[in-house]
Amino acid sequence: MTTRFPLQPLLDLSRMQLDEATRKLGRLIASHQEASQRHQLLVTYREEYHERFVAAAKNGLNPSEWHNYGHFLVRIDEAIAQAEHAVQATQQHRLDGQKSWIGKQGRVKAFDTLSDRHVAKLVKKEQRTEQKAGDEHAARGHREKNSTP
């Protein structure tokens, strides 16, 4: 079995591309998780700050304090909107990365299948060669046995 798989360079290249796609997908998943955590942290902080605002309002706020709370809530809402946008963007990037990874994985599987078939073909050829050699050896032995008086 000395015959090398003719598509081995493509198989090796597709495996390297799959490995890179796997690393990239890992980074995209981590980025999406970070964006989601950041968004959730802002939402939680806004809820807590709003509760403090309501508690302070019950005790009475002067117009300046009322304005400060309102202004800060608007700023938190803007940050939440930006975080939501980041979550959506990282989710789309993650989905694109998954599609790319699936495509590269399919390519590797296809080349692996071709490689397996190549090896099986070589094994079968080698077995036929061995069988033929064994048959010739047996036939020669039979001829020699029958040709000696």
Rounded-to-integer distance, Cα 114 and Cα 116, Å: 5
Contacts 24+ apart (CB under 8 A), 27-32: 28/90, 28/93, 28/94, 28/97, 29/94, 29/97, 31/90, 31/93, 31/94, 32/87, 32/90, 32/91, 32/93, 32/94
Checking if the pLDDT of 149 tops 60, the result is no
Q: 8-147: which CATH topology?
A: Helix Hairpins (1.10.287)
- Domain ranges across the chain: 8-147
**Tens-digit pLDDT profile for residues 66-93:** 999 999 999 999 999 999 999 999 999 9
pLDDT value of position 9: 93
pLDDT value of position 139: 78
Nearest to 101 by CA among 18, 1, 9, 3: 18
137 confidence band (pLDDT: 50, 70, 90): confident
